[in-house]
Chains A and B, each alone.
Chain A
Amino acid sequence: MITPETIAPYLFSFILGFLCLNIIFQKEKNINTAVKFIFSLAIGLGLSASITFLSFILFDQLVPFFVLLINTLLLLILTYYNYSLRAFSFKIKMPGQKKFFRNCVLLGIFVLFFLPLINQCLYYAHGGWDAWSVWNVKAKFMYLGESSWKNIFKPELWRSSPHYPLFLPLINVWGWIFTQSAVYYIPQMTALVFTVLIAGLLYFGIKDLTKSPFSLIPVLLFISSPFVVKQCVSQYCDLIFGFYLFGCIYSLIKTKEDNSLSFAITAGILLGLLTFTKGEGLLAAGLVTLFALPYLWLKNPHNEKLSLIIYFLVSALFASMPLIYFKLLFAPDNVTFTNGLISQTHPSTFPRLKAIFMYYFFELKNPKWDGLLLLILAILIFHYKKLLSPRNSLISLFLLSYFAIITFYYYVNTQFEIIWWLNVTLGRVIFAVLPVILFLAFALLLPGKNK
């Protein structure tokens, strides 16, 4: 699995993203080095996947030479800009002996907890059901299909949700350009990379805001949960969605707390990429934008608050271009939608709504979560007064409205029998927002710079 060809696409994207962030954070040096590395890889993969998509838009098929050429040109341009702006002045502070020892212990615990996940990731090489039925099958069509790649939008393939955006398949296609065949270890690597990114951002994000030595606890809760491990190795897009949503919300909080234009741009880019992850990505991005505007504007004493909003929106619009092109040029209608409000044969009924709420209740104490959801709920209830504080309101309102809309969608779309549908999707819906929920819970629980 670990070969130079497997690592090369991620390393290439990391350098691209790093050079981009160097320019974005050229004036403000307020980003934590580890967070910068995490965002570098995420933004770099977003750039490389978008360039790969450009090949499909321009040539109606994958042209590996074009993708590599544009990526390389961008790398050279960004290197030149970094050089001319002297953005390379990059400092890594060497920690003291005590701190170094503590960091080594933390890293050791982190690696130890990751071993079961790596083991399962290696064994379940093709991921879970939706990996081979939705995400990786699309990637194969795009990589091998030449000009007939658009067959993925045909109604015959309704099982693979033809209307879903293509971010995850494009990341894998980008990887396959390096391996020169559709090998299973690229989707495996993508899943592993995004799990590490989420775990890393959970630790460094919470540590950055709370300065608490207990910031490792949410990470351990996350990667020790057998259900979370299963989702992480499944190669589904929920993992990617979870990262970009979390990254965007963290960046928005940093935007306001540090009055940072650089973080506003970063939040916008991550939000734009979030829209291209899956169907819910656009919904989540819309809600985050809706709540981010008053969040950045209200109770903000700084004069630059309008600039923060403009930078955030413009960068989000720019990064949403792949989704806009996808919607305009390719996206078919959702063939798995039956409007129960007007359907005579499959109407939305009160028992359906009741079943949804009952299921939510039982999901909370579902043994697959090992009490994790109940624990988080307890933390939120005991800190309910702080849930609507300026910082936390962004996440609280987002989660509340997101689940309200998801519930409404479960109720209205009567295409599927509700218990079966909840059984196969609700755990994943919660998993996708779990990093954000953990972030909120531990920002409340751990004292420090709490606001």
Chain B
Amino acid sequence: MTKVSLKNSPFKSPLKILLLSACVIVIIFNLQELLPEDNQVRKIRSLLSHQEVGQEFYGLDKILKNIPTIGYYTDKDLTRADNNARFSQAQYVIAPTILDINNTTHEFTLFDCRSENIAMNTIKEINATIIQKRSGLILTRKMK
């Protein structure tokens, strides 16, 4: 028979038993929160394999290949988290091209405005040509 030694066992001390029990309780609490989240993600994954980021900017990276910097014109409040996220996602998708915020002096400018009218007025002002327009985004190019 194997001898079970209590010399190094945490069961010698009631405090250690208490703390180890608390660990088990925390693990159970964790699982109670984690498993429903996991189930939700599983359900979503059965419809969509993974979450996309900045999908509305997909394809622009191919048009802008080898262009180091373009302008990113927006009238949205970039201190707001959702607008800031949208800008950062655009930068992520378009990388390695830099998006220069509200600088319309570059050859290419991407307009991401609240309304098309605001964008069109500025496009007229800078005398640029629209080369792509989709889902609220307008990519323009200035004639040299």
In the complex with contacts A129-B88, A447-B10, A156-B98 CB distance below 8 A: yes
One of B25-33, B109-117, B133-141 at the interface: B25-33
Whose C-beta in chain B lies nearest to the C-beta of A151?
Answer: B98
Quick one: which of A128-159 are within 8 Å of B by CB? 129, 132-133, 136-137, 140-141, 144-145, 148-149, 151, 154, 156-157, 159
Complex alpha-carbon distance, A149 and B97, angstroms = 10
A211 contacts which chain B residues (CB < 8 A)? 8
B15 and A382 contact, CB distance less than 8 A? yes
Quick one: which of B75-98 are within 8 Å of A by CB? 84-85, 88-89, 91-92, 95-96, 98
B100 and A445 contact, CB distance less than 8 A? no
B27 and A221 contact, CB distance less than 8 A? yes
B5-25 vs A, CB cutoff 8 Å, 1 = contact: the mask equals 000111010011001101111
Contact of B95 (CB < 8 Å), options: A129, A144, A156? A144
In the complex with contacts A221-B30, A224-B31, A226-B33, A119-B8 CB distance below 8 A: no
Contact of B29 (CB < 8 Å), options: A116, A120, A370? A370
Shortest beta-carbon distance from B66 to chain A in Å: 9
B126 within 8 A of A: no
A136 contacts which chain B residues (CB < 8 A)? 92
B54 and A132 contact, CB distance less than 8 A? yes
Quick one: which of B31-88 are within 8 Å of A by CB? 31, 33-35, 37-38, 41-42, 44-45, 49-54, 68-69, 84-85, 88
A132 and B33 contact, CB distance less than 8 A? no
Quick one: which of A201-222 are within 8 Å of B by CB? 211-212, 214, 217, 220-221
One of A43-51, A261-269, A346-354, A372-380 at the interface: A372-380
In the complex with contacts A122-B50, A132-B92, A378-B16 CB distance below 8 A: no
A294 within 8 A of B: no
Whose C-beta in chain A lies nearest to the C-beta of B53?
Answer: A126
Complex alpha-carbon distance, A137 and B99, angstroms = 12
Shortest beta-carbon distance from B21 to chain A in Å: 11
Shortest beta-carbon distance from A123 to chain B in Å: 5
Main secondary structure of the interface of A (DSSP, over half): helix
Complex alpha-carbon distance, A146 and B50, angstroms = 29
B22 and A119 contact, CB distance less than 8 A? no
Number of interface residues of B (CB under 8 A): 46
Shortest beta-carbon distance from B24 to chain A in Å: 8
Shortest beta-carbon distance from A97 to chain B in Å: 13
A39-79 vs B, CB cutoff 8 Å, 1 = contact: the mask equals 00000000000000000000000000000000000000000
Number of interface residues of A (CB under 8 A): 48
Shortest beta-carbon distance from A393 to chain B in Å: 21
B19 and A378 contact, CB distance less than 8 A? yes
A126 and B51 contact, CB distance less than 8 A? yes
B22 contacts which chain A residues (CB < 8 A)? 375, 378
A425-451 vs B, CB cutoff 8 Å, 1 = contact: the mask equals 000000000000000000001111000
B68 and A148 contact, CB distance less than 8 A? yes
A125 within 8 A of B: yes
Complex alpha-carbon distance, A308 and B33, angstroms = 46
Complex alpha-carbon distance, A20 and B9, angstroms = 38
Shortest beta-carbon distance from A54 to chain B in Å: 20
* Chain B residues packing against A (C-beta within 8 Å): 8-10, 12, 15-16, 19-20, 22-27, 29-31, 33-35, 37-38, 41-42, 44-45, 49-54, 68-69, 84-85, 88-89, 91-92, 95-96, 98-101
* Chain A residues packing against B (C-beta within 8 Å): 115-116, 119-120, 122-126, 129, 132-133, 136-137, 140-141, 144-145, 148-149, 151, 154, 156-157, 159-160, 184, 211-212, 214, 217, 220-221, 224-226, 229, 370-372, 375, 378-379, 382, 445-448
| 9 shortest interchain CB distances as A-B pairs | A145-B96, A125-B50, A224-B30, A116-B38, A133-B88, A132-B92, A140-B95, A126-B53, A141-B96
13 contacts between A and B (CB under 8 A): A116-B35, A123-B44, A125-B51, A129-B88, A151-B69, A159-B88, A217-B23, A217-B24, A220-B27, A221-B26, A224-B30, A229-B34, A447-B12
